[in-house]
Structure 1
Amino acid sequence: MQLNRKIALCIAATFCLPAILIAYELPTAAPEQVGLSAEKLQRAQAAMQKLVDDKRIAGGVIVVARRGKVVQFEACGMMDIEAKKPMKRDTIFRFYSMSKPITSVAVMILYEQGKIELDDPVSEYIPQFKGLKVVADPDAEEITEVEAKRQMTVRDLMRHTSGLTYGFFSNTAVDKLYRKSVQLGGSGVTLEEMAKNLAPIPLLYQPGTKWHYSVSTDVLGRVVEVASGQSLDKFFAERIFEPLGMADTAFYVPAGKIDRFATNYGPNPQGGLRPIDKPETTRYAKMPTFFSGGGGLVSTAGDYMRFCLMLLNKGEFGGKRLLKTETVEMMTKDQLPEQAYPIGTGGRAGVGFGLGFSVRVESSDAAPASRVGEYGWGGMASTHFWISPRDEIAVIVLTQHIPYSNRAERAVKPIIYEAISAGR
């Protein structure tokens, strides 16, 4: 009975959608107007609510848009369990790696201006990257260096074939050097300093030979700074956030907005959830010196949907064009060389990588709800988005939970695609 009441409240919120979203200035429509089933969309929200009731997540926000119109924008659960603060549509989230597509768009803005070429050596922007070495055997306990067969390029950074790593996913000898020498944040650290510290460390793989998730997008952030002559935060604000109206997206949460910042949760060994980062003590309350294009942004569901609608509309939103149609089409097609495809097994079988996004190239039994041509990405605190050009749909599913989990995305994705079929 309690669950039915919660679902009823969510349904009421859906029917009130156009009035709610006027404040966000996002284009809206009733689901049936764009070929979606309202009843199926309500089931997607119920699936999110079940995760809350089962204490798998504290709360979440889901936004669905089709044919350029938002048809579902709902919040459930709590943004702070201890303070009894309900999740809201304008709650601010840690987006972590959902920052990466924004950095990639920044690169392509400069590409269209002729300030960056995709096959430029990275050393043209960061001189310390000239003459990089590579480990002979990535799994060896001792490092033996060999020459790189070719230079690392901007394209390599964008598709994660640079040979760089992260330092915390594995325990190779190279990863240990990252943990010792490379700071992705911290007091006084800058992108310039990070890049200089990276340069002496050998690459884990030869450039262009293997997809390996890494600090590549943070290095791209430094490339943007050098090519544009601006700090990354200023470039983002002037060239992406302001044109798209992304008023709540930044590298920190100002004091006047901290009450909208969600608590981040992790699993409690005794069951349920425990807070691991709260607004009162978070590092996000202070402007950083390190502008992490790979994982430093905070944002809202409404802001990020503006970004998604720009991509879905091939580079334009609200009368502002950020990129040419052909540029977005290039970014959202698989760019991996044959030896680097796919990016994984299981749910990542049949998945390649474009210029800033994962791209489903082939269908897979391990991911039956995904569509060929679909692209997107996620973030460490269990945030997700995907866009299916074929279905003219963009979806954002946000929560705040570390370690990373895609359970919320998996819960709603098949239902949303069913809503398309049922709405035809």
Structure 2
Amino acid sequence: MVEKITPEEVGLSSERLGRINDFMIRYVDGGQAAGFVTLVARKGEIVFFDNYGYQDIDAKMPLANDTIFRIYSMTKPITSVGFMMLFERGLVRLEDPVSIYIPEFKNIKVLGKDGKRLNLDKEITIHNLLDHTAGLSYGGIEETKLPVDAYYDQANLFEPRIDLEEMVRRITTLPLAFQPGDKWHYSVATDVVGRLIELITDMPLIDYLREKVLDPLGMVDTDFCVPPGKRNRFSTLYGKVGEADLGVLDDAIGGDYFNVSLQSGGSGLVSTMPDYCRFAQMLLNRGEWGGMRFLGSKTVDYMIANHLSKSLLPINMGGPWHGFGFGLGFSVMLDVPLSGMMGSTGVHGWGGWANTHFWIDQIEELIGILMMQYIPSGTFPFTNDFRTAVYQAIID
């Protein structure tokens, strides 16, 4: 992991970084979150790494810097990086139709306005999967619900005892929400990318990710399951229950994480702050970490660039995200004032359903990571407050 030094050595104020806790503690003390872990790194150095609150409130178990969190959709950037390693080796092309590898995608239909299933105008490409323009969906997300989501809700795609092959087979039986490339819509597309990794490498997804990404980065606690020896470090999941802002939730995706077969490349990983910091630092370094090269620098640049035309903007996640585009696995800040957030043009990152979040600012050589466990995301402005607290600490 990058080493911790004084903030002033890299152009940040110690006093101002202390305001991160001022911003975040009020959510815990106000009964809106159990706790959080926050990290800030700049110019390859950790300058802030702290935690507050509980891993489990009832057990009075405090959070620790190595608490294990469900990172949900922060899995997507890891899977996308793993896939682009195959692209760099010439084993796959982004313009390839997905049906080359999964033939059932050739006959997938599009749900028309009248409920009829229409033929494809053009096939789904791998690029469509990576930038979420494939026409796939998620189901169950009320804020962005489409007519096609009724089919997704019935398919039980995240049944924990199925495997990724079966999940993707079920996806191929569902209609698309729109013709590939016509719109941006957040979806299970990265799960299909994970299945492509399995088919191209003839390896289970976790074995490939361990070999190419996780083990080389020293991400020792990042996995689809939590083994018995680490369960005492696994955070309880919280969220709104009835009228209460903070209640204990059963795991909503992927079962209990102790005995799960589904290796969801879009939402299935658990991780820790130290693990994810290594991954983020590798991206900030444009593909290099610890003397090892994971991706070419121009490949990283390509992934973190906006791939959406103006006609597909703004992206919509529970409402329009003005000022943002999307790359290959990451949101991308295109217009800072329009976004309503502090940052720099080109800031990229993503978050998870339980309000974990990370971003990388190449201009400021800055990483911010928030780890917590509160569903759903967007209920409270955790991420925006954390981002504001980080950026106001820059003094150079």
TM class, shorter-chain normalised?
over 0.9
| 8 Å CA contact 2:336, 2:342 repeated in 1 | no
Q: Are residues 390 and 80 of structure 1, via their aligned partners in 2, closer, same or farther at CA, if it must alter by over 3 Å?
A: same
Report 1:400-419 matches (<5 A).
Answer: 400-405=373-378, 407-419=381-393
Q: What residue identity is the alignment partner of 2:64? A: K
SS of residue paired to 2:375:
coil
Counterparts of 1:265-276 in structure 2, within 5 Å, are: 265-269=238-242, 271-276=244-249
**Do residues 111 (structure 1) and 87 (structure 2) align?**
yes
With the length of structure 1 as denominator, give the TM-score of the two structures: 0.88
Q: Percent of aligned positions with the same letter in both sequences?
A: 43
1:249 deviates by: 0.3
Partner of 1:259: 232
The separation in 2 between residues aligned to 1:338 and 1:151, in whole angstroms, is 22
Q: Which residue does 2:181 correspond to in 1?
A: 208
Residue 136 of structure 1 corresponds to 112
Could you tell me which amino acid in structure 2 is paired with residue 213 of structure 1?
Answer: Y
Structure 2 CA distance for partners of 1:366 and 1:322, relative to 1, 3 Å: closer
1:308 is aligned, of 280, 291, 303, to 280
In structure 2, what is the Cα distance between the partners aligned to 1:367 and 1:315?
29
Worse overlay, 242-251 or 402-411: 402-411
1:224 corresponds to which residue?
197
Corresponding residue of 1:289: 261
Alignment of 1:237-252 (within 5 A): 237-252=210-225
d(CA) in 2 for partners of 1:132, 1:270: 42
TM-superposition CA deviations, 1:95-138 (whole Å, max 9, x none): 0000010010011011011111111100111111113221222x
In the alignment, the residues of structure 1 paired with residue 159 and residue 47 of structure 2 have an alpha-carbon distance, to the nearest angstrom, of: 38
**In structure 1, distance between residues paired with 2:15 and 2:221:** 31
3-state secondary structure, aligned to 1:283: coil
Partner SS for 1:419? coil
Say whether residues 1:385 and 2:358 are aligned partners.
yes
* Residue 393 of structure 1, CA deviation: 0.3
CA distance in 1, matches of 2:342, 2:320: 10
**Structure number with larger C-alpha Rg:** 1
CA contact (8 A) 1:347 1:366 kept: no
AA paired with 2:67? T
Q: Which of the residues 38, 55, 64 maps onto 1:62? A: 38
2:341 and 2:173 map into 1 onto residues whose CA distance is 43
Aligned-partner SS, 2:46: strand
How big is the alpha-carbon RMSD for the aligned residues of Structure 1 and Structure 2?
1.7
* Structure 1: tracts of 5 or more residues without a match: 1-24
Matched, 1:159 2:131: yes
CA deviation after TM superposition for structure 1 residue 220, in Å: 0.6
Moved more, 409-418 or 313-322: 409-418
TM-score normalized by the length of structure 2? 0.94
Does structure 2 retain, via aligned residues, the 8 Å contact 1:126–1:195?
no
Matched, 1:195 2:168: yes
Aligned to 1:8: none
Distance 1:89 1:149 in 2: 50
Q: Residue 344 of structure 2 corresponds to which residue in structure 1?
A: 371
**CA-to-aligned-CA distance 1:152-204 (integer Å, 9 cap, x gap):** 011000000000011212554421112222422321x1111122222232211
Match of 2:316 in 1: 344
1:236 equivalent in alignment to 2:209: yes
Q: Equivalent of 2:27, from 33, 51, 55?
A: 51
Counterpart CA distance in 2 for 1:131 and 1:359 is 33
Q: Tell me the equivalent position of 1:320.
A: 292
- Structure 1 residue 31 corresponds to structure 2 residue 30: no
In 2: Cα distance, 1:235 partner to 1:30 partner: 37
> Contact 1:185–1:292 (CA<8 Å) still a contact in 2?
no
* Range that drifts further, 146-155 or 405-414: 405-414
Of 176, 179, 189, 2:150 maps to 176
- The C-alpha deviation readout for 1:23-82, integer Å capped at 9, x for no partner, is xx4322210111111111111122111211111110000010001111111010111110
* 1:328 aligned counterpart, secondary structure: helix
